[in-house]
Amino acid sequence: MAAAEHLTAKYGDGPWSGKRTEAGVRYDMRNASVYVARRRTKIVATLTLATKKPWAIDRTYFTHVNRPLYLTSMAVAPDLQRQGIGRHCVAAAAKLVKQWPGDAIRLDAYDADAGAGDFYRKCGFREVGRASYRTVPLIYFEMLL
């Protein structure tokens, strides 16, 4: 929640402004794997991987693979961003996906100032397309493993 509030304060209201609901978290826990990164006792980041394609993803943009996983959400505590935690989480996710076994990570990111496109490029993801979903411009990314 803190990450969404931070983006809203910095960039204004947008699709990134949505607060997680208990129902949404329970859905993720039933249909995906939720990972947390800790620094001592504090949760500093979360990452969610799912085998089920999210609603906004159009498969036609991606390379054909047998077992893709989808990075459906990721957040780093605002006061700890730009310290390498996010990149470490993506690297750990790639290792987990290989062990799953999976052969690619796919995701979409907002194509806006509040989006994370540059971050995902720096982490080794390749842009494979752009689309709009309900007037929200998205960038599709994949990492083949």
Q: Is residue 6 part of a domain?
A: no
pLDDT, averaged per 10 consecutive residues of the chain (145 residues), comes to: 51 55 72 89 92 90 97 90 94 95 94 82 97 86 98
Considering the domain boundaries, does residue 4 fall inside one? no
Q: Does any domain span residue 103?
A: yes
The answer to the question of residue 3 being in a domain is no
Coil, strand, or helix at residue 133?
Answer: strand
- Is position 67 within any domain? yes
C-alpha span between 67 and 42 (Å, rounded): 33
- For residue 11, what pLDDT is reported? 46
CATH of residue 31: 3.40.630.30
**How confident is the model at residue 144, as a pLDDT?**
98
Under DSSP, is residue 68 helix (H, G, I), strand (E, B) or coil?
strand
Residue 37 covered by a domain: yes
Cis peptide before 54 (omega within 30 of 0): no
- Predicted confidence at residue 63, as pLDDT, reads 97
53 located within any domain: yes
C-alpha torsion 37→57→136→131, nearest 10? 130
Torsion of CA 67, 131, 117, 36, to 10 degrees: -50
For residue 15 the two structure tokens come to: 């699709």
Pairing of strands 104-110, 68-76: parallel
Domain enclosing residue 58, as ranges: 19-144
Which amino acid is located at 43 in the chain? I
Instruction: Identify whether 129 is part of a domain.
Output: yes
Domain count across the chain: 1
Q: What is the pLDDT of residue 8?
A: 45
Answer for the pair 17, 7: CB distance below 8 angstroms, yes or no.
yes
